[in-house]
Amino acid sequence: IHRNVEYKKLEKMGEGTYRTVFKAENRETHEMVALKWMRLDDNDEGVCRVPPSRRPQDLKKYFDSCNGDLDPEIVKSFLFQLVKGLGFCHSRNVLHRDLKPQNLLINRNGELKLADFAGVVTLSNRPPDVLFGAKLYSTSIDMWSAGCIFAELVNAGQPLCPGNDVDDQLKRILWLLGAPTEEQWPSMTKLPDYKPYPMYPATTFLVYVVPKLNATGKDLLQNLLKCNPVQCISAEEALQHPYFSDFCLP
């Protein structure tokens, strides 16, 4: 935590119910940072500093600045850093729970930082078990969201399943991945908000919506996006996937 006097606020980057993010400059080093003001209660406010980055921007703005055209190696680099960050958090029993491009900060060196740890997953990146009302969940909630972001990276910033509401979101997911049977996901029908959905064919359409992705990338994506959370690949396993076999983080 740093005193506000050490930084000169330049512009507002974003605002939510409990926090406001400013672009700021360190008065001594002239380093560009993101400052987050967080409301703790009705009387107190705190300031939280995102790790140093020059000209910080979120991944959504990065998409816009690149006109949605990302080099495959940049996609791989961002995903690797995202999964590595999740692995660090998960090994310490910390879940993010609201992964989306707006919560991933990118600096001019291509470094990716996780931000805005929250309590509710954005609808378009919400896994099926949470959409079915699950109250208890594990690291799979973040890995599913990482899969959605992976597809968005590949598809020039286009969300994988932009549903209008919970029902629409579930239908889009089940059409994309195929509706799981009770044998494939035994606890599905016991979830609080479960209701029967059309039995979309088991043949997945997922591989067809990411045409730019190579075969190993499609395999990793399919392992990230599993309706049954028990079957979802972990961060540690994802880092060992062949998709990253020829990748070295600069």
C-alpha torsion sign, points 26, 86, 12, 55: positive
Mean residue pLDDT across the chain: 85
Tens digits of per-residue pLDDT, 148-169?
999 999 998 889 999 999 999 9
**Would you state the pLDDT for residue 85?**
97
Q: Is the pLDDT of residue 117 over 60?
A: yes
pLDDT bucket at 52, cuts 50 / 70 / 90:
very low
User: How far lies 171's CA from each of 46, 49, 60, 128, in Å?
Assistant: 41, 39, 25, 10
Q: Indicate the pLDDT class of residue 68, thresholds 50, 70 and 90.
A: low
- Average pLDDT for residues 243-247, to the nearest whole number? 92
| Coil, helix or strand at residue 136 | coil
The residue-averaged pLDDT of 225-234 equals 96
Q: How confident is the model at residue 40 (pLDDT cuts 50, 70, 90)?
A: very low
Given a cut of 90, is residue 91 above it in pLDDT?
yes
Q: Interhelix angle for 140-154 vs 215-224, to 10°?
A: 150
- Residue 144 has φ and ψ, to the nearest 5°, of -60, -45
Domains of the chain, first to last: 1-39 (no CATH), 51-244 (1.10.510.10)
Task: Give catalytic residues, as residue numbers.
Answer: 98
User: CB under 8 Å to 239, separation ≥6 — which residues?
Assistant: 80, 83, 84, 87
pLDDT given for residue 30 in this prediction: 80
Which has the higher per-residue pLDDT, 170 or 121?
Answer: 170
- Average the pLDDT over 167-180 and give the result: 92
